[in-house]
Chain A
Amino acid sequence: MDIGKILESLVNNTRTVKRVSYVVLALTVVIDFFISRHHHVFFWEDIPGFSAVYGFISCVLIVVVSKALGHYWLERSEDYYND
């Protein structure tokens, strides 16, 4: 089994990889409607698919907030400390 070849075929079939990924994403949410829940600490534990939404929002939030901080405040040219 050649790891290089497997990777190569994955990269060459992005469309298939994408389709499979979407199915997996959907499945994780669908399954969430059918599992029994034991823990009851936070109310959102009872909402199926909550963590999918929370994960997506987290990702976007981190990118937007960090990029804004960088753009308006923190980013400098690479020679900044050498001047």
Chain B
Amino acid sequence: MIDWVHPSVFLILGALFLPLFKGKAQRIYIILLPLLALLTVMLMSPGVHGVVNFLGFELIFGRADKLSLAFAYVFSSAALIGAIYALHVKDVSQHVAAFVYAGSSLGATFAGDFLTLFVFWELMAFASVWLIWSRRVKASIEAGYRYLLVLLAGIIILYVTTGSIRFDALQVRDAAFYLILIGFMLNAAVPPLHAWLTDAYPEATVTGAVFLSAFTTKTAVYALIRAYPGTEVLIWLGTIMALYGVVFAVLANDIRRLLGYHIISQVGYMVAAVGMGTALAINGAVAHAFTHILYKGLLFMGAGAVIQMTGRSKLSELGGIYRYMPVTFVLYMIGGFSISAFPLFSGFVSKSMEVSAAADLHLTWIWLLLTLASAGTFLHTGLKLPYFTFLGEDCGARPTEPPRNMLVAMGIAAFLCVFIGVYPDWLYNMLPHEVDYHPYTATHVVWALQILLFTGLGFFMLVKHLGGSPMISLDLDWFYRKGAGIFMQFVYRVVVPIEDWFIQVYRSVFRGNLALGIKGLWLDKNVIDGAVNAIAAVVVRCAGALRQVQTGQLQHYALVMVGSLLILSLYSLF
């Protein structure tokens, strides 16, 4: 009798059999996999399962407590909603990539040790870049490479700093403490390590972006909650993040880029709450991540529907399509009201916990700035984007509503947004700490309505100046997009010597100890080399011209570069 099944088994292994099915059977199978994963999570009993001894290391695949179960619950729900939204997609590889991505996110959630966590973490990066490449246009391929490069750089940091130790709150503030923190912050898109997100997500496929919006950053939030509760530096970093996303969202013209900046802004609240570390703040971070995955997915689904049906993605080229896509418009607005934290919508009962936690700690500036950022959230996601997409001047496009499966997926997400807003106890019962928080007090409701409605007043007074313009705005991705030449220098002068150094270290330190030796070789072969190869591949693409000036070790690496390019290209099915 099997008493425990890892939900990722259905998503990762199950996805590999997807190409065997055709037509209707395939569509049923696509729904069945995430449904089984969700049921497994719902039926899972708390405890430590799936402990495997591997070469002297204790790998824990199934640490199920309230924290991991809450995240697993919403991750598997997001996988199911995303799968329904993507049901019409004929490209099987996209479904496989999406399931492997969601499955590795669940794997990371249930990981009880750092090694298991990082293996799933890496799998997430590889599976998710597929969703970007699958759009098969030049911009997507290039953005995908940049995305992979940055995420792998973060993974190198993670691997070099740790062996297999328990994945719990880190106590000792040594170098590993800060390096792992940086690795997690990179995936959470904390500025200045955020630009990969808004660079890559707008280039993903319509259905792929829905998956992307759910998993990478929120898995990082989970990892931060697990390992770094009460790390004060995160309070300010998170608050800056919340504002950063809001400021750049004003300048965004691409609708999914705008939504991407609001992922950064929203995750900022969660990061700040992790930094506060009180029971209320941690509950708030979990609740916010939970609701955020649902409403952000809904917003990306709405934006994706517009892009698919009109072929346009820029505010300056959209407008007036509410007549042709009224259902999409209304469902999008439910997401917009939820993210803006209107009473009766899910953001109101979750985000406000984090802001209240700041008040309890008497963090005056943090409170004021987070409140300011929430005005910005409504301004863009609830007003600017829908106004210039669905209302405003008629752009001439005559779309129809998207396929039924897309509307059904949006409907499920919209239902959950309202359900949680009306009945928050359902969510509160899942949170890691006992909840003593009551969102629906008269002061809180009136307070929220004033902030939001007067933001709305400001919007309509300034509306003439707020339309999208056919421009792009610089962000820190400039450094690796324009600064490729400088980056080349960095790779050859810094990364290559460091790798050589690691090879030396592994050979000398781990000699004579079989288990560690194998691990060292494994790390070196699979991770360091793999990542350096990926970096090298990107460099080849970014700065082909500069290649000729390199000497010495180039021959050695050229072979590797070409090899990895081949493998990476195979992944993208070109």
Q: Select from chain B the residue with minimum beta-carbon distance to A75.
A: B471
Min CB distance A26 to B, Å, is 10
A7–B375 Cα gap in the complex (Å)?
25
By a CB distance below 8 angstroms, the chain A residues around B481 are: 81
Contact B465 A76 (CB under 8 A): no
Residues facing B in A38-58 (CB within 8 A) are 38-39, 41-42, 45, 49, 51-56, 58
Contact A24 B442 (CB under 8 A): no
Of B249, B322, B451, B456, chain A has the most CB atoms within 10 Å of the CB of B451
By a CB distance below 8 angstroms, the chain A residues around B323 are: 4, 7-8
Contact A78 B472 (CB under 8 A): yes
Contact A62 B372 (CB under 8 A): yes
Listed stretches B277-285, B360-368, B546-554; interface member: B360-368
Task: Label chain B's interface by main secondary structure.
Answer: helix
- With an 8 Å Cβ cutoff, the count of chain B residues facing the other chain is 52
Contact A39 B443 (CB under 8 A): yes
By a CB distance below 8 angstroms, the chain A residues around B372 are: 54, 58, 61-62
Contact B359 A41 (CB under 8 A): yes
By a CB distance below 8 angstroms, the chain B residues around A55 are: 375, 450-455, 458
Contact B248 A35 (CB under 8 A): no
Contact B250 A66 (CB under 8 A): yes
Contact A28 B449 (CB under 8 A): yes
Given A29-B450, A32-B450, A41-B359: A70 and B457 interface contact (C-beta under 8 Å): no
A41–B355 Cα gap in the complex (Å)?
12
By a CB distance below 8 angstroms, the chain B residues around A54 are: 371-372, 375, 451
Contact B371 A78 (CB under 8 A): no
Contact A32 B375 (CB under 8 A): no
Asked if B447 lies at the interface with its beta carbon under 8 angstroms from chain A, I say yes
Contact A81 B482 (CB under 8 A): yes
Residues facing B in A56-82 (CB within 8 A) are 56, 58-63, 65-67, 69-70, 73-78, 80-81
A-contacting residues of B (Cβ < 8 Å)?
Answer: 246-251, 322-323, 326-327, 329-330, 359-360, 362, 364, 367, 371-372, 375-376, 379, 391, 441-443, 446-459, 462, 465-466, 469-475, 481-482
B-contacting residues of A (Cβ < 8 Å)?
Answer: 3-4, 7-8, 11, 21, 24-25, 28-29, 31-32, 35-39, 41-42, 45, 49, 51-56, 58-63, 65-67, 69-70, 73-78, 80-81
